[in-house]
Each structure stands twice: as C-alpha cells, then as structure tokens.
Amino acid sequence: MEKVILVRYGEIALKGLNKSFFIDMLLKNIKASLKGLNGVKLEKIQGRFIIRVALEDFDRALDLLRKVFGIVSISEAKAFPNDFEQIKRVAVNMMECINEDTTFKVEARRANKGFSLTSMEINNEVGGHLLDNNQYLKVDVKKPEVKLYIEVREKTYMYSSILQGLGGLPVGCSGKGVLMLSGGIDSPVAGYLMAKRGVEIIAVHFHSFPYTSERARDKVIKLTEIMQDYTGPIKLYIVSFTDIQQELLLSCNERYTTLLMRRIMMKIAERIAIAEEAKALISGESLAQVASQTMESLIVTDNAVELPVYRPLIGMDKNEIIDISQKIDTFETSILPYEDCCTVFVPKHPETRPKLEKILIDEQKIDIEHLIQESINTAEIITM
C-alpha cells in the first residue's frame, strides 16, 4: 500500500480554455513547485493527478501544492489494488484512531465499472464492516462528523479529508503581465490576484537611490521571493528613477509631480511589457485610496499608455487588501519602514481632480523620451 497525494483541478474553470493546454500547464507548474523534493512522481489519471513523494517530504509537498493556482483541492490518500477484502481492512485501519463517539458516512465512487460492487454496495458493505469493528462509530448520512472516501479506479484510493486549494488558473495560461511592484502592501496583492487568473508575472520596481536606501531594494527582492511560491519564477526589473524625479522637481508644477511620476512609471513599464511580450500592466491601485487614485487621476495615468492597466484591487478596502497580504505572507515585509520613491517627494497639496490637458503641457517641459531610454538602458534585471 502506498501513500499518495490526490490533486483535483476545477473542471468548471476549463470552460473558456483548451483543456489539455490547461492540464499540461498545471502539471508543469506542479513539477516546478515540487522541484526541490525527493522522489517526486506525477501521474495523470482521469480528472485528477496522483503525486508520489518521499515520505520525509510529504508534508512539505502538501504545503507547496496548496499554493499552486489551478488546484481546487488535495487529499492525502492510501492507494492499493482493487480488492474488496483489502478495502475493508484499510477502512478499519483508517478509522482506528477514532476512540470516542463519532458519526460517519462512507462515500464511495466506482469509476472503474469492471469492479464487482456498485458505489452503493461499497457504501453499505464498508459502512457495516466499520460498525462491526469500531464501537465508537455511528452512521449519519446527512451530517456526518467524518467522511471516508473510497474511489475505485484502476486502483483504489481511500482518504478521509479534503484540503481546499486556491482554485484559479495555472500561472502562464493567460499570458504575461507587467506588475508595478512598489514594496508597499498593495502591489504584491495585486500581482497575486492576477497570477490567480493565470497571468505570468514580470515585476518592475522603481527606486531613487540614494534617496531610497539599499534596504528598500532588498525589501522588494524579498517580496518577490515570497510571491514566487504562488506565481512561479518572477523576472524582476529594478529601474532607477532618480534622474526622472529630479527633472520633474526642477521643471514641473509641484502639484502634478506625483501624477507625472506615475505616468512615466507606466510608460517605462509598457516598454518592458512590449519587450517581454506581455499584454497588460498591473498596479495595486484602489479607487480613491490616495490623491493619485481618484477617477480623474486614473484617467491621467491610463492615458500615458496604450496597453490596458489591470487594477485588481480597485474595489477593495484597505483592510480587505491587508487580509490577503497576511494570508500570502507579504504583509510583514511590506510594512518594513524603508522609503519608497513615491514617498520621498510627495507634494504638500497633490492634485485630486487633475485636468489631463494641463498635465500634458507640464510633461512637455522635460525630455521624457531621453529619460525613459536612459532608465531602461540602466535597469538591473534579477531572475530568481
């Protein structure tokens, strides 16, 4: 008898997509996620994957799989040949740990029609056998405390718990997006949510050394590492924004500097997206959270680029965003106090209802194209 992991993926999620493309992408991502573990073997069976892994790495594998998008649920199962006597023995064995009154139900599923008993017969026979062999068990078919699942396929798989996965789509099956990753709370969550819909993430971070410290840069690298458990490998561009900010401060109306900065960030991210064949930009903006995120301000930033800007947090409150960042473990790193390039030069009275025409006039006061090229040429690229 073997201990295996049964992986279920969402049939419903397959609607708009080519099924085998989805399954192959998910298999590839699972392989990548379990790469460092011993004895990993993947098997594709109908509607499920069966994963074998060395016993010492079993729990680690369960943890990792719960972070792979596209997986709906997983179970730790016993696998053995389709033999009814053995099914009964294993069932008793699995319920052995129950030593106080507990209600239960057997839920069998005979996918292999060659097996001599129907699902209903397996339920009745195994249920009766358990009652004979464990005095603490009582049947409750409506609301049992424990369910014993038996799947008879080319082998029998037996398990008693189902762990929820994250759902979503396998990363990569929706194409690529460029995430503007600041080091704050919001943008890692935005990247996580788009990866959940199958988007492969390329990240861009703007820093203003020496106004922002080396530690701010390390923080973004750390956030990228944490996100990668969910998103898979992220290519991170670190782009210097110092010259651009200095130019803006020198030449432009102070009220507009944040918006001009944001427009230029978008433009640089778009160039990177085109080079990487990404089809969208992703940002962590949430409507009206700050002056640069009012409807009027978003018109101004959107206007800077042709690619669509995905803002998965647009309708979320800060505490909802924080909940997710705690769940995915980026929160503690995000709240480290190192300066971000946007916070270094915040205008005292930022424009909340900007007029695009005025911003465009101000933007023409600087040699944007030259500055953008310079930043891209000197970008540091980190592949983790």
Phi and psi angles of residue 353, each rounded to the nearest 5 degrees, phi first: -125, 65
**C-beta of 298: minimal distance to ligand ATP in Å?**
10
Interacting residue with ligand ATP among 33, 174, 292, 297 (CB under 6 A): 292
Q: Judging by beta carbons within 10 Å of its beta carbon (0-12, 13-18, 19+), is residue 222 exposed, middle or buried?
A: middle
Q: Tell me which residue has its CB nearest to ligand ATP.
A: 184
Among 6-14, 242-250, 335-343, 374-382, the segment contacting ligand ATP (CB under 6 A): 335-343
Interacting residue with ligand ATP among 64, 328, 341, 371 (CB under 6 A): 341
Question: Going residue by residue from 162 to 181, which x/- string records binding to ligand ATP, judged by CB under 6 A?
Answer: ------------------xx
Q: What DSSP element (H or E) covers 337?
A: none
Q: Is 290 helix (H, G, I), strand (E, B) or coil?
A: coil
- The tokens describing 198, both together, are 């199958």
- The tokens describing 302, both together, are 């959107």
**C-beta of 340: minimal distance to Mg ion in Å?**
5
Q: Is 242 in the site for ligand ATP (CB under 6 A)?
A: no
Q: How many helices (H) and strands (E) does the chain have?
A: 14, 15
Residue 25 Cα distances to 12, 196, 208, angstroms: 16, 14, 38
Q: Is 325 in the site for ligand ATP (CB under 6 A)?
A: no
Residue that is written with structure tokens 């011993």 in the block: 38
Q: Is 235 in the site for ligand ATP (CB under 6 A)?
A: no
**C-beta of 121: minimal distance to ligand ATP in Å?**
57
Is 220:380 a contact under the CB 8 Å cutoff? no
- Pick from ligand ATP, Mg ion, none: which does 193 bind, CB < 5 to 8 A by kind? none
Interacting residue with Mg ion among 165, 184, 312, 350 (CB under 5 A): 184
CA separation for the pair 290, 21 (Å, rounded): 41
CA separation for the pair 242, 374 (Å, rounded): 11
Specify the residue, 90 or 321, whose C-beta has the smaller distance to Mg ion.
321
Q: Is 78 in the site for ligand ATP (CB under 6 A)?
A: no
Specify the residue, 22 or 192, whose C-beta has the smaller distance to ligand ATP.
192
Interacting residue with ligand ATP among 151, 200, 285, 351 (CB under 6 A): 285
User: Residue type for 261, please?
Assistant: M
- The tokens describing 100, both together, are 């106080």
Residue that is written with structure tokens 């991502």 in the block: 29
Among 134-142, 151-159, 179-187, 271-279, the segment contacting Mg ion (CB under 5 A): 179-187
Chain positions 262 to 281 lying near ligand ATP, rule: CB under 6 A, are 265
Q: Is 8 helix (H, G, I), strand (E, B) or coil?
A: strand
Specify the residue, 29 or 187, whose C-beta has the smaller distance to ligand ATP.
187
Q: Is 184 in the site for ligand ATP (CB under 6 A)?
A: yes
Among 106-114, 174-182, 207-215, 299-307, the segment contacting Mg ion (CB under 5 A): 174-182
Name the nearest CA neighbour of 267 among 212, 307, 236.
Answer: 307
Q: Is 284 in the site for ligand ATP (CB under 6 A)?
A: yes
**C-beta of 361: minimal distance to ligand ATP in Å?**
23
266 annotated as belonging to a binding site for a ligand: no
Interacting residue with ligand ATP among 77, 130, 185, 359 (CB under 6 A): 185
CA separation for the pair 199, 193 (Å, rounded): 9
Specify the residue, 121 or 340, whose C-beta has the smaller distance to ligand ATP.
340
Q: Is 248 in the site for ligand ATP (CB under 6 A)?
A: no
Q: List, in sequence order, the alpha helices (H) in the chain.
A: 19-33, 58-65, 84-95, 119-133, 186-196, 214-231, 242-251, 257-276, 295-302, 318-327, 331-334, 341-344, 356-363, 368-377
Nearest 10 degrees: Cα torsion 61, 65, 66, 71: -150
Binding-site residue set for ATP:
180-181, 205-206, 262, 284, 293
The residues of the shown chain that bind ligand ATP, judged by CB under 6 A, are: 180-182, 184-187, 204-206, 265, 283-285, 289-290, 292, 340-342
Binding-site residue set:
180-181, 205-206, 262, 284, 293
